[in-house]
Chains A and B, each alone.
Chain A
Amino acid sequence: MNPENFGAPARSPEIQSISKAPTAIRGLDVILKGGFPLGRTTIISGTAGTGKTVMAMEFLLRGALEGHAGLFISFEERAEDVRANASAMGMNPAVLEEQSKLKIIHAEVPADAVRTGDFDTRGLLAMIEGHANLMGAKRIVLDAVDFLMSIFEDPGRERAEISILLNRLRDLAMTTIFTVKAEPGGRKIYPFLDFMADCVLFLDQRVDEQVRTRRLNVLKYRGSDFLSNEHPYSLTPEGLVLLPIPSVLPGESSFKKRVSSGNDELDRIMGGGYFMGSCILLTGPSGIGKTSLACTFAQSAYNRGEKVLYVDFEVCLETLVGAMQSIGLDLNPALDSDSRLRVLTGMPESAGAQEHLIRIIDEMTRFSPQHLVVDAISACRRMGSGKTAFDLLLHLITECRAKGITCFFTNQIRNQEHLIQVSGLGISSMVDTIIALEYFLEDQRMNRRLMVIKSRGSDHSKDFYRLDLSDTGVSLSRDTGRGDWTLTPDKRT
C-alpha cells in the first residue's frame, strides 16, 4: 500500500463486462451498455403487438449491414409475411437475403398434422447448423418460441427440447435471440425460459389516458450492468427507437456568453441578457405575452444569424404569424428562407410524448439550431399521463445541455402557486432562469407585469416591471409615476 495514495479518492475498478454484440438499434445499446451478450441467449418477451419480432429482425438486419450474417427462424409466420412486415417497418430484407447475409426460414407443424408417435427437434437443429455454417452466421433469431413449445404437449418435454436447442446454440457460440409471447399483465407462459437465458427484455404496452405508451424493461442481464428503469420506446419507419435518459444528471454548466432577449430593458433587468446555452422558463397565464417574449427572443437571435427551432404545441403556424404581426413582429422573411427559423407545430394529442420527443430531437439534429423554443411545455400534459410533460422537459434539457443549445420554454399556469411547477412536479432545479408574468388590477384595468424569479449566475433585478404589448412590440418599464425608468420600446433591427 502506497502511503502517497492513501488520501486519494477511491476509484471504482472498471467492471469487466462480458463481450457484447452491438444491436445498432437506436438507444438500445446505451441501455444494455454495449449490446446483447455475445454467444449467449437473449429473450425478448412481451404481449402481442409490442414489437418483439421487429426488434429481433432489426438486430439481424443491422448486423447484416455490418457484415454479420444472421438466420431468422420463424415458428409462427410464413417467410413471405416476415419479409413483408419487415419491409413495412422500413427495412429491406430481400437485398440482404440475396447477398446471403440473411436467411428467413419458416418451420412449422401444421395445425392439422397427425401425431403418430414420438418426435423431436433434431431436424430443426440440423437445419439451423447447416444454414449457419453455410452462411458463416453467428447470429440467430428464433421467433415465437412459444409456438415451438406448444407442439410438445408435455411440459417436461418442452423444457428438455428447449434445453437441447439452447445448449447446442451455446456450444456453437451463436448469439441467440428468442422471442416469446407473454400474457397481458406480464404473467409468463414459460417462466423457466428466463432462467435459461443470460439477458431478458420485457416489452410492455399500455394505454394511458387514451394515448398508447410502450415501455421496455431489462429484467435481467447476467454479467453486465444496464439501465434499469422502464424505457419508453417507439416503433418508427426507421425501426425501434429508444431515448434513454442518461444516468448522469444534467450538471450546472458555467455559462459565459450572453444573448439578448430581444428587448433592451429586459436585457438590463437580466444583467446583460440570457446566458447562451442555458435554460430559461417563462411562466404565466393565458394571453399574457409569453409567446410575444418568446418570438422577440427568437427574432433577435435569427437576426444575428443564429438558428432557432421553434416548437409550437398551442397554435398552428398561420395563427402564430398573425398573432406576432399584431405586435409588429414579422416572422415571414425568416420562415421563407428556412435557414434561420424553423417552426414545428402539432397537437400534443396527436402522438405520444416519445414520438414528439423523437420528432424534435431529429429536427434538432438536422437543423443544428443554436436555440430551441418550446411554446408551451404545459401543453405536453395532453400527451398522456401527467408526468409526460416533465419527462419531455428533462429529455430536452439534457439534450440541449449536451450540445450547448439555449432552451427557452413557456409554461402556461393558472394559479400563481404553480409558477415553478410543470404538472405538479418541481422543475426549478433544472432551469437556470425563471421569469414570471402575471396580471394585476390597477385603476380598474387589467395590467401585466414581469418579474425575474431566479437567474443562476447572474445579478438580476428583483423588482416587478410593467409589461406592455403594442403594435411596436414588447416594452417594459418600472412602475409608472416613479420616474426612474422610462418607456423604451425594443429596437427593431
Chain B
Amino acid sequence: MDLDPGQKDVTMTNKSECSFDSPAQYHLVLFVAGDGLNSSIARQNLASLCENELAGRCRVNIVDVLEDFSAAAKNNILVTPTLLVCKPEPVVTIIGNLSDREKVRAALNLKEVKP
C-alpha cells in the first residue's frame, strides 16, 4: 500500500505496511536492521511474545531495512528496532529491542501475566 504524495497525512495511514483487513486481532510490523545485537534481541522477544501471550491472535511482519530501505522511508522509521502495532487501532510505535516486557505488554494493553 503506497502512500499517495497528495494524501493528507493522518496518523493511521502514515504507516503503510499496516493492513487493516487482517483477520487477526493484532497486526505487528517489526523493523530491524540486519543481524545487529538489538535487532536479534528484538526478533527473539517478539517471537516469544507471539508464541505465548498472543498465540493464535497475531500476525507478524518483519521488515529488514537493510534490504528494503524504502519501507523505512514510507513508514517514517528513524531508529531500529521499531515495532509498529498496526492493529488494534490506534497505531502504537514501540522502539527498542523489546526487553522491557512490562512496557511492551502495557503498550499492547495486555494484562500482566504472573509467571
| Chain A residues engaging chain B, CB cutoff 8 angstroms | 75, 78, 80, 97, 105-110, 112-124, 126-127, 129-131, 148, 151
- The reply to whether B76 and A106 contact each other, CB–CB distance below 8 Å, is yes
Given A109-B93, A110-B93, A129-B69, answer yes or no on A117-B41 (Cβ-Cβ < 8 Å): yes
- The reply to whether A119 and B79 contact each other, CB–CB distance below 8 Å, is yes
A124 / chain B contacts, CB cutoff of 8 Å: 72, 77-79
- The reply to whether B97 and A116 contact each other, CB–CB distance below 8 Å, is yes
The answer to whether B66 has its CB under 8 Å from any CB of chain A is: yes
Within 8 Å by CB of A126, from B69, B100, B104, lies B69
B103 / chain A contacts, CB cutoff of 8 Å: 114-116
A148 / chain B contacts, CB cutoff of 8 Å: 78
- The reply to whether B76 and A116 contact each other, CB–CB distance below 8 Å, is no
- The reply to whether A122 and B34 contact each other, CB–CB distance below 8 Å, is yes
- Interface residues of B, dominant DSSP: mixed
A120 / chain B contacts, CB cutoff of 8 Å: 33, 36, 38, 79-80
Offer 7 A-B interface pairs, CB within 8 angstroms, sorted by A.
Answer: A113-B93, A118-B97, A119-B80, A119-B81, A122-B34, A123-B65, A148-B78
| C-alpha spacing A75/B94, complex, angstroms | 18
- The reply to whether B104 and A131 contact each other, CB–CB distance below 8 Å, is no
B99 / chain A contacts, CB cutoff of 8 Å: 116-118
The answer to whether B107 has its CB under 8 Å from any CB of chain A is: yes
B31 / chain A contacts, CB cutoff of 8 Å: 123
- Hey, what's the 0/1 contact readout for B1-19 against A, CB within 8 Å counting as 1? 0000100110000000000
| C-alpha spacing A108/B9, complex, angstroms | 14
The answer to whether B62 has its CB under 8 Å from any CB of chain A is: no
| Chain B residues engaging chain A, CB cutoff 8 angstroms | 5, 8-9, 31-34, 36, 38, 41-42, 65-66, 69-70, 72-73, 76-83, 92-100, 103-104, 106-107
- The reply to whether B100 and A117 contact each other, CB–CB distance below 8 Å, is yes
| C-alpha spacing A128/B103, complex, angstroms | 30
B34, B70, B79: which has the most chain A beta carbons within 10 Å? B79
| C-alpha spacing A114/B98, complex, angstroms | 10
Complex: chain A residue closest to B103, CB-CB: A116
| C-alpha spacing A117/B78, complex, angstroms | 15
Question: Smallest CB–CB gap between B108 and chain A, Å?
Answer: 10
- The reply to whether A114 and B95 contact each other, CB–CB distance below 8 Å, is yes
B93 / chain A contacts, CB cutoff of 8 Å: 109-110, 112-114
Complex: chain B residue closest to A132, CB-CB: B69
A114 / chain B contacts, CB cutoff of 8 Å: 92-95, 103-104, 106-107
- The reply to whether B80 and A105 contact each other, CB–CB distance below 8 Å, is no
Within 8 Å by CB of A151, from B65, B78, B100, lies B78
A122 / chain B contacts, CB cutoff of 8 Å: 33-34, 36, 66, 80
- The reply to whether B72 and A123 contact each other, CB–CB distance below 8 Å, is yes
- The reply to whether B76 and A119 contact each other, CB–CB distance below 8 Å, is no
A106, A121, A123: which has the most chain B beta carbons within 10 Å? A123
- The reply to whether B94 and A113 contact each other, CB–CB distance below 8 Å, is yes
Complex: chain A residue closest to B97, CB-CB: A117
| C-alpha spacing A121/B38, complex, angstroms | 11
A107 / chain B contacts, CB cutoff of 8 Å: 72-73, 76-78
A118 / chain B contacts, CB cutoff of 8 Å: 38, 96-97, 99
A129 / chain B contacts, CB cutoff of 8 Å: 69
| C-alpha spacing A116/B32, complex, angstroms | 14
Complex: chain B residue closest to A125, CB-CB: B33
Within 8 Å by CB of B82, from A75, A97, A123, lies A123
